[in-house]
Structure 1
Amino acid sequence: MNDKLHTSERTREFNFTQEHFAKLSALSYDHTGIVVQNNKYEMFYSRLAKRVRALKLSNFDQYVAYLERHKDEEFTHFINALTTNLTSFFRENHHFVFLRDKVVPEYASAGVKEFRVWSAGCSTGEETYSIAMTLAEATEGSKMSWRITASDIDTEVLGKAQRGVYPLERVESIPTPVKKRWLLRGKGTNAGMARVSSELQKNIEFIQVNLIKPFSFQHKFHVIFCRNVVIYFDRETKQKLIARYADSLVDTGYLIMGHSESLHGVSSEFVSLGQTIYQKVT
């Protein structure tokens, strides 16, 4: 076993072996496509130890057995414990500028009646609401309406996204005029918080989606945002997911990825436009 895996063995509340790590990592990969590297060993333990405590189990042998017996009820907690949800409003702002200045005018001039965006891996909603604010202002005065489908595998962050309530420090990155228009500042017991306008929320649907399972939607999308998601997947899983994204986009639709992600050697169904923006090839 890697010596690093022994570093805090004596200080742990529960014994956590390489065998436990391997079994739980395999379950993570099989059900979510997420590859857990050895350097995540301590994080894996600390997050899942909370589940062992919550279930009043004595050790990780019992937790592995419990997870295998009660997949339907426990797997949501397992996934929620493993996923990392770092996000912010208007992160990688050039993507929203591209959406506003290039994509929306293109489809509006083509006579599209309803513009559809999928925010895949939406986390706590900052990306989704950044898209919504951009679309609301970019389509103002046009005949084109818009809808956003926002999805995540983690039900806890989906709940937060759907509520659309954030501490004031989280919304500091939103331009002041945009903030004043689309956010309501809390008062009294809600002081220090801001809530997203219902005018935006009415155009957004939040749903749970496991990206490694087959998915289909009633309508195709003009743009898919999938940023900082595929970095957790291996090559085979990436290829399958990107192929499904291509099927979910209209012809010449756009796929927007995170700054450290690339489709090079992964898919021939998209052409790079730079800045991790891709367009579907027809």
Structure 2
Amino acid sequence: MRTSRVIWIFLLVASHQLPGTAAQLQIGGGSSVDFGDAVVHLGCSDLQVNGTASGGTAQIHAVDNATIAAGGTFNAGGAQIDTAGNFESTGTFNPGASTVSMIDGCGRTQSHVSGATSFHNLSVTTSTGKQLMLDAAKTVTVAGQLQLRGASGNLLKIRSTTAGTPSMISATTLQDIHFVDVADNRATGAVIAPGKASVFESVPGANIFRWFYFDENGVYSDPTTKLVPVFSEWTLVLLGLMLACVGMRYASSKKKSNSVDNSN
């Protein structure tokens, strides 16, 4: 019954489009929809929540742009939501235990996550070299698993909406990072992909903080590198004199030892 009700709402909304507008599933400001355990395939249409939506354990696939408008509320529950376009929220998104996946498709080469959005699980994957845009000076929070994956030769590009001003990601240590090209980003939770970028087959760009071996100041600091002490000029002179003295004492001691042997 739940699946039938959700699909019926989609068809009703889609059949009342204005000329020239794209198909979409829109939950009106006075409406409340519970997706329950539905499996919904939007075929690259938009999902827009102006009212109240409950995700339940639904699987909502092939979304182009997902938008939670001002005044709208999406209680995601344990839903799985796949979007190829943007995830925009000026309303309320309660992530629950949901998974939001941003994937290839719908002709999109770029996806945008707006503002300071919080997710439970967030997965962004591409085999085409897609670009993920995050708002400058805003923090995207991931309480569960963060997955950022591109492909060999087609890295996932992570960028700020304002070049030179970092966007921010607060994640846990539950991460799956591979084949990324990241610039203008600061990790504010756990360090993201701690280690050499090459281990993750990734490229570190400019202005990154607490990614790979870049510290909180954006300085590369590899703890596996052994430091070679650097001495001042006077220290080297003093060290040379000390070694010379040791050498002279050794030579003198050797000479005395030889003299004793000869006398015997």
Bin of the TM-score, shorter chain as denominator length: under 0.3
Which of structures 1 and 2 has the larger relative contact order (alpha carbons within 8 angstroms, sep 6+)? Answer: 1
Question: What TM-score do the two structures reach when normalised by structure 1?
Answer: 0.25
Structure with the bigger percentage of strand: 2
Bigger radius of gyration, 1 or 2? 2
Structure with the bigger percentage of helix: 1
Question: What TM-score do the two structures reach when normalised by structure 2?
Answer: 0.26
